[in-house]
Amino acid sequence: MAIENSIVVPAYHEKLNIKPLTERLFKALGEEGSAKTELIFVDDNSKDGSVEEVEALQKKGYNVKIIVRTTERGLSSAVLKGFYESKGEYLVCMDADLQHPPEYVPELLARLRMHPFVIGTRYAAGVEMDKDWPLYRRVISSGARMMAKPLTVASDPMSGFFGVQKKELAKAAEGSINAKGFKIALDFLVKLPFDDALIGEQPFSFGVRTEGESKLSSKVMILYLAQLKELYVYKFGAQNIISLIVIWSLLFLFVFYYLFF
């Protein structure tokens, strides 16, 4: 059966999550879904045995592969690499750490057949919001989300769980997608030429990371601010003084919260 769906997972030092993610994903997809789905890990040369872990899963018959990059690092560029090397028309990005529970993937894929872009959202009725996150992490997340609000109608533009149709990706101008930092979905939301009204949303409850560590760092936060500035200028124009005032006021609030709470 031809591959229709490609699930791309940026992974850095995620050996312990690879097996449970693969098993849970293909179980959730069922026999028919699994036959038309490939799973691609994009790893930045982790020295923790991730490659061997994927090879063991291949031997068990799972359609899973691992792309190892040796000269580049970064979540967003890893996702782009996986998308460009994928076979499917329906592309999904999710974290390795099971915070994006694989059981939501079949529903997201179904929505992706009706929408050019589907964002996994934690801001929907009945969804439990990041209940295990420490306060500082929630503050950073809310501040970052607030700053992106004027850019998109999506309720959770910070989400790393999303799907996009490959034909939409092909419409992006060469080199226009920011491959730095963590927030590639936000770039797609602002720069891919589909109507906001066509964006689909997939509610999901954030899972808990039990293995490995988050790679969020102050460098990632700075890259996010640089990305926001670029997107504001892209969307509203460099002369739009109001957008610059908004972004710098929000930046001030963000730094203030981060430092004092």
Ligand X SMILES: Nc1nc2c(ncn2[C@@H]2O[C@H](COP(=O)(O)OP(=O)(O)O[C@H]3O[C@H](CO)[C@@H](O)[C@H](O)[C@@H]3O)[C@@H](O)[C@H]2O)c(=O)[nH]1
42 part of the interface to ligand X, by CB under 6 A: yes
CB contact at 8 A, 92 and 9 = no
User: For residues 208 and 211, what is the distance between their CA atoms, to the nearest angstrom?
Assistant: 9
98 part of the interface to ligand X, by CB under 6 A: no
43 part of the interface to ligand X, by CB under 6 A: yes
User: What burial class does residue 131 get, using C-beta atoms within 10 Å of its C-beta: 0-12 exposed, 13-18 middle, 19+ buried?
Assistant: exposed
214 part of the interface to ligand X, by CB under 6 A: yes
Q: Tell me how far, at minimum, the Cβ of 223 lies from ligand X, in Å.
A: 11
Interaction residues for ligand X, span 154-213 (CB under 6 A) = 158-160, 182
Of 38, 44, 187, 201, the residue at the interface with ligand X (CB under 6 A) is 44
Expressed in angstroms, the distance from the first to the final Cα of the chain is 53
Q: Tell me how far, at minimum, the Cβ of 256 lies from ligand X, in Å.
A: 19
CA 173 to chain centre: 20
138 part of the interface to ligand X, by CB under 6 A: no
215 part of the interface to ligand X, by CB under 6 A: yes
State how far the alpha carbon of 43 is from the alpha carbons of 145, 185, 220, in Å: 27, 19, 18
| Site size toward ligand X, by CB under 6 A | 23
Of 5, 7, 14, 231, the residue at the interface with ligand X (CB under 6 A) is 14
* Residue 87 structure tokens: 């076979």
- Contacts with ligand X by CB under 6 A lie at 10-12, 14, 42-44, 73-75, 78, 95-97, 99, 141, 158-160, 182, 214-216
